Copies of this chain bind each other. A is one copy, B any other.
Amino acid sequence: MNTMQVELGDRSYPIYMGVGNLDKADLLIQHIKSKQVIIVTNETVAPLYLQQVSRHLQQFQVEVVILPDGEQYKTLSTVETVFTALLSKQFSRNATLIALGGGVVGDISGFAAACYQRGIPFIQIPTTLLAQVDSSVGGKTGVNHALGKNMIGAFYQPQCVIIDVNVLATLDDRQLAAGIAEVIKYGLIRDYDFFSWIEVNIDKILARDETALTYIIEQSCRNKAEVVAADERESGTRAILNLGHTFGHAIETGVGYGRYLHGEAVAIGTCQAADLSRRMGLLTDIDVERIETLLRKVGLPTEPPVDLSAEEFINLMAVDKKNVDGEIRLILLNKIGEASLPIGVERSVLLETLNHYGRTD
């Protein structure tokens, strides 16, 4: 097992990465300082891993909330169901919440933990690759609004993150690919060597080779932890983690939450950001081709949905946390392995990218 510390002063916490971590009772129990424990999971994950986790907790008063599965349930009203569960059992401010699931479960549960009695301790046990390499680390919690993705939330750090590589065995191919989109992102924004390694080893990753999966989780978490430690609340450099996300969020919101997995929308957005970087003279044609080829090999979509017009895109992109006074700002690539900070982009150039794909508007 490899342990990595996210360095955030008195909010620092460990990420445990390894094979079989769900079977290690102590790993979990040492972080629970209360009698009362609530596990929030979903209907897909519960049959697979709920018993494996809850059997460690027989000495506690354990409640379980099982949410429906899917991005379309990442709403304030789902968070309210978690509050109701906590209150109907009279759970105290020292109760511990365990988020057992993918990014949606983690984001909802983390936000519930941040807000219940103004904050209770919580633990992340991510069960998708995307949650393991990205959403469970760094304290971004929250939900969607019909008018914008992840627009409601809190920065709220967990007590620890417990990653078990074994759980990836039950992940369906589409979910695995979505996670790889965020893995590739780390290479693109700040780690050229990692990007090259992924290119070379992509077949092993897709074959779910345990060593390869462990390696991409470790490298991704290291990159994420370094960025978050440098800028917890995204006043500067943390924004680079948003490569492809302004386009991606616009797609998720525009076509309705749940049609694309988050990682799929990010893959498309990454291609659009790469194309825009090329038009701004930052990337070469070869760079863009390299990025698209890798994403296609993973089986990820690389073109935006035909039913989202350029005008709708721009309107949706106007709702983004990187914007200042309403001006659209994007993360681009200076080169493979180095992201730009958020920069404003001429509408005409943005339109060129949006109209570049097989769409007719």
Contacts and interface: CB of A to CB of B under 8 A. Distances in A.
Interface of A: 34-36, 76, 79-80, 83-84, 87-88, 90-95, 114-119, 140, 142, 145, 147-148, 151-155, 233-234, 318-319, 321-327
A190 to B, nearest CB: 22
Contacts of A94: 324-325
A118 B153 contact: yes
A321 B117 CA distance: 6
Contact of A34 (B93, B154, B322, B325): B325
B36 A152 contact: no
Q: Kindly report how many copies of this chain are found in the complex they form together.
A: 2
Contact of A140 (B92, B118, B147, B326): B118
A283 to B, nearest CB: 27
B93 A145 contact: no
A114 B36 contact: no
A148 B118 CA distance: 13
A61 B117 CA distance: 34
A119 B115 CA distance: 13
Contact of A151 (B116, B234, B323): B116
Q: Which 8 pairs between the two chains have the least Cβ-Cβ distance?
A: A87-B147, A35-B325, A92-B323, A90-B318, A117-B321, A118-B153, A93-B321, A115-B152
Contacts of A91: 326
A147 B91 CA distance: 11
13 contacts: A35-B326, A76-B76, A83-B152, A84-B145, A90-B319, A93-B323, A95-B325, A116-B151, A116-B152, A117-B153, A118-B142, A118-B321, A119-B155
Contact of A118 (B95, B119, B155, B324): B155
Contacts of A145: 80, 83-84, 87
Contacts of A95: 325
